[in-house]
Structure 1
Amino acid sequence: MAIPVKRVAVIGAGVSGLMSVKSCLEAGLEPVCFEKNEQLGGVWQTQELDNLDGISGGTIYQCLMSNSSKEMMTVSDFPFPKEYPPYLTPEHLLTYYRNYAEHFNLDQHIRLSTEVMKVAPSADHEATGRWEVCSRPRCRSGTLDGPTASEIFDAVIVSTGLFNTAFVPSYPGQGEFRGQILHSNRFRSGEQFAGKTVLVVGSSHSAGDVAVDASRHASQVYLSMRDGAWVIGRFGPGGMPIDAYSNSRWKAKLPEVIRRLAARPMFEGRFDLDNLGLRCKRRLFEGYIMVNDEIHCRIICGALRCKPGIERFTRDGVVFEDGTRVDGLDVVVFATGYNLNFPFFEDNSIIADNFADLELYMHVWPARRTHPTLAAVGYVSTLGAQTPLFELQSRWVAQVFLGNARLPGIDERMEDVKRRKEAYFKKFGKHRIFFPPIPYCEELADRIGARPNFTRLLLTDPKLALRAFLGPAYPPFYRLNGPHPWAGARDAIINGWANTVNPTRTRVVERPSTGGALTVAMLIAVTVLIISLILVLN
């Protein structure tokens, strides 16, 4: 039987790593976080780097804006400053995560410029569940400098993230192309393509950002998408951030066919996807979604032109799948995502480095391992903010390490892995982890007793109950009860909308009166809806 967990190694001090360190500390564990870079913050700290040499993972470009709104991506017990705008720049986010680390005294548990070289079962692992972690310091140039240190830990949390190794696909003739080929992790600003003819390849957020920004400076930009993309802006009906509008508990309970029908007008009402060449071949929620507020403007002025997938390269251009071609290409930018990479595991079976073979129970625990002393936090992608998922994962991991939550047997874990993988493959036609956030968050919260009790809220705090049923699923809902509740959770939820809109109200205007009030019939309808939701959600 494994010994009680006390000392925990956390690999990576990006967002998921910081969540993991904090969750360990509040649970009374002793985390040691290894970060190979000089600063914490993961991809967000790359905006301060002058030299990207040696960085194979995600980086930040100048035009980047968060795809999730601040109230939806906040840490559950550490709200963003009220003066921050609804959507955030990399500067906002890096400052926030550094302040988060300082506020909860995480810094003293993080070893910067220290790279983990090997993670392997300890000599007594079969009996204890412990792990050997070998690390080396890195100098300012990024090279390893100094002897390897070997330490034994009771448990390990891997939190190096999804964006650690850039993926560049291969096409016929690519090696003969005389222009420049780079991945979007080397993109900083469209200015670097001034006067050039550029092809951007990809269908997700970064592809849209790179194509739009490059089109302001390049002579011509093309965007190649094999299946197209579902493009949506950052704001929905009534000016509400689209993720806050979409991610509420009552909507999450609707069948996907209903959610798809309800959401289509938001994707198709802004512009004609067919006329602009953006139409996705796959159904909504089964193809790539691109959050972008400007791409249609760049297309209608001719600066950006959409094209299908690439068939092959030529010496000075590409031929597309529809037979059309572009010659005189100067640059091709692959905004094609990242591969998983766990170079510190000598045994690839511990955590596989590809989605096809990845076997993580609930996307967290290596399903075949006997001892629950190794966890992966941050290896999911969702239709909304990632931070709440990472935080709940890390809180669950800490409770399992403490023995307050238990994992099922290996057979049940493997059944969960099989079910999820088959469902995602059927939906997307490939191995991909992407899903709506609320059902998964509720699953995690259930495991630690942090899921909001709607019946109790209705009896004790009807106003908060109404927000819980019908409003955005703000992260502080998971600090109302369960382990380590936060006294400020209710205020953060109630003030969520005010904190979203007040930073932009820099010119005070008088809103026209609409007259009237809710009718008795509407009040009755709301009451019936609330009761129905209680029956469904509890």
Structure 2
Amino acid sequence: MGSYMKSFAKKFDLYRNVEFGKTVVKFNKGNGKSQWQLAFADDLDSPREFDKVVWATGCFLNPRPIQFKGQDEFAGRIMHSQDVRDMDQFKGQNVMVLGMGNTAGDIAINIVDRADKVYLSHRRGAKIFKRSGADGVPADALLTPASASILWWLEAKMPWLWGKVMDAAMDDNFKQNWGENKPEWGFVQSPSIRDGQYVIVCNDVLIPYVKEGKIVSLPGIKRIAGPRRVEMDDGQVIDDIDTIITCTGYNDDMEILSDVLTFVEGPTGAAPLPNLYMGIFPPEHADSLALISNVHLNGPQIQGRELAAMSVAQIWAGNSTLPSPSVMDEWIRRHNAWLFKRLAKSPGANRGDVKSIDWQTFVHEAAGTGVLDNIGWGWKAWALWWRDSQLYRALAHGPSTGYGLRLFETGKRAQWAGARKAVLDAYEEMQKIKKGGKEVKGL
């Protein structure tokens, strides 16, 4: 990935516009100025002016702290997953990994061959998901642009049915690959995907390791009961623990934006909610400030980030427009009310959650991709199907790629001449993979 980004920057001559190693420590519009004033750590006394700012720091910035009862008694190490770099440091140790997300699963399986014992402590369970079905076909091959659009509609209009469909898909993936999800493992207690509290853990070997006893699944930590002793929620005591790795997630750091954005208080235990239209634009500064990395998406993440960036570029270029401030404020009010209910159920849920169909419709329209118009039920979709059924099939029922975003001329983002061939090639590649899966099944 790093090599690709470097080659991309070199090809399009981006290095001349980039300064590396800069840390912003102050960010405001002071003294009635129209431009943003950014102060950098290496030159605090000389703020620099910028016309527009894109906030793209990601959501994983500040490790979320945790304090155990009796923690001062513990003689071993307690470390956050952010500090886990060298897995060899756990050789010969008894390690307890706390948490039930992708990071916890990845760390647990990667220290199995080094540590003496590995324990995975968690309370809420998770949807454990293998990246492929039993036939070897990647599971995300099912999430085509057409099927994703249907799921987004269900999520918004019939959330109870959407939850059932998604829960069933996750459960079927588990059963196909590993058989019964035994209650004693503690994973089956995961809330429904409908509730927004779910954790989907993509991990191919976690369940096999649990079955083999290489990883022991345990309830949550109740307290530290001695220098090397940990008591679990169910009363059992685990001795000789050398290290506890807390995979408790992160808080997105918006402190530097506290004088720029407005916030509303969230439910008890949840962080304040930033007032952002579509999770991107603060209405009072929509012409010059955009938060690209705040939104938590259902669907392809990389393509979603690209769409957000494309939409910001087209809006600021004047090719697309935002609604009036009053309309944006009303959307924010309704959105925060919806999000408040989700966070009230689970304060740890992502405050960047959005209704997928609203968000996707907005960014596709603003970016000018033309994709949703050409795979839906409108006249453009029927025209494409009639004129070029091969392309329609590949675009609607093939993998979600960035190629499709550059197929159609809409007067906004640039069209790419090679997009059609790239979309067809990606579709053919996926068909070959699916054919191999059918042969595995003997169909």
TM-score of the aligned structures, taking structure 1 as reference length: 0.68
Aligned to 2:123: 226
Alpha carbons of structure 1 residues 281 and 326: separation in structure 2 relative to 1, 3 Å: same
SS across alignment from 1:114 = coil
Partner amino acid, structure 2, of 1:305: V
Alignment map for 1:71-90 (pairs within 5 Å): none
SS across alignment from 1:178 = coil
Aligned to 1:463: 390
Q: Which runs of 5+ in 2 are unaligned?
A: 155-161, 375-380
Alpha carbons of structure 1 residues 359 and 439: separation in structure 2 relative to 1, 3 Å: closer
Alpha carbons of structure 1 residues 355 and 395: separation in structure 2 relative to 1, 3 Å: farther
SS across alignment from 2:331 = helix
Partner amino acid, structure 2, of 1:168: P
Match of 2:173 among 266, 271, 276: 266
SS across alignment from 1:253 = helix
The percentage of counterpart residues that share the same residue type is 26
Cα distance in 2 for partners of 1:342, 1:442 equals 27
- RMSD over aligned CA atoms reads 3.1
- Indicate yes or no: 2:292 matched with 1:377: yes
SS across alignment from 2:23 = strand
Aligned to 1:132: 37
Aligned to 2:7: 99
Partner amino acid, structure 2, of 1:339: N
- Structure 1 residues 340-389: Cα deviation after superposition (integer angstroms, max 9, x where no partner): 1145446264579975322221111124x155211111222334432211
Alpha carbons of structure 1 residues 136 and 284: separation in structure 2 relative to 1, 3 Å: closer
- Indicate yes or no: 2:308 matched with 1:308: no
Cα distance in 2 for partners of 1:262, 1:346 equals 41
Match of 2:189 among 252, 262, 280: 280
- Indicate yes or no: 2:299 matched with 1:402: no
- Structure 1 residues 319-342: Cα deviation after superposition (integer angstroms, max 9, x where no partner): 222222222211111112111114
Q: Which runs of 5+ in 1 are unaligned?
A: 1-92, 138-145, 516-538
Contact 1:118 1:346 in 2 (8 A): no
Alignment map for 1:449-460 (pairs within 5 Å): 449-452=368-371, 453-454=373-374, 455=381, 456-460=383-387
Contact 2:93 2:115 in 1 (8 A): yes
Partner amino acid, structure 2, of 1:359: N
Match of 1:334 among 243, 246, 249: 246
Aligned to 1:156: 53
- Cα offset, 1:501, TM superposition: 9.2
Partner amino acid, structure 1, of 2:400: A
Alignment map for 1:32-431 (pairs within 5 Å): 93-125=1-33, 128=34, 130-137=35-42, 148-236=45-133, 238-254=135-151, 255=154, 256=162, 257-271=164-178, 272-274=180-182, 275-284=184-193, 286=196, 287-315=198-226, 316-345=228-257, 347=259, 349=261, 355-367=271-283, 369=284, 371-427=286-342, 429-430=345-346, 431=349
Alpha carbons of structure 1 residues 200 and 259: separation in structure 2 relative to 1, 3 Å: closer
Cα distance in 1 for partners of 2:316, 2:136 equals 43
Q: Which moved more, 1:491-500 or 1:110-119?
A: 491-500
Cα distance in 2 for partners of 1:218, 1:290 equals 22
Contact 1:157 1:374 in 2 (8 A): yes
- Indicate yes or no: 2:415 matched with 1:496: no
Q: Which moved more, 1:276-285 or 1:220-229?
A: 276-285
SS across alignment from 1:239 = coil
SS across alignment from 2:274 = coil
TM-score of the aligned structures, taking structure 2 as reference length: 0.82
Alpha carbons of structure 1 residues 308 and 436: separation in structure 2 relative to 1, 3 Å: farther
Give the aligned length.
406
Contact 1:201 1:225 in 2 (8 A): yes
Aligned to 1:32: none
- Cα offset, 1:209, TM superposition: 0.4
Cα distance in 2 for partners of 1:494, 1:436 equals 30
Contact 2:398 2:427 in 1 (8 A): no
Cα distance in 2 for partners of 1:317, 1:451 equals 59
- Structure 1 residues 122-146: Cα deviation after superposition (integer angstroms, max 9, x where no partner): 4334xx4x21112244xxxxxxxx5
Partner amino acid, structure 2, of 1:181: I
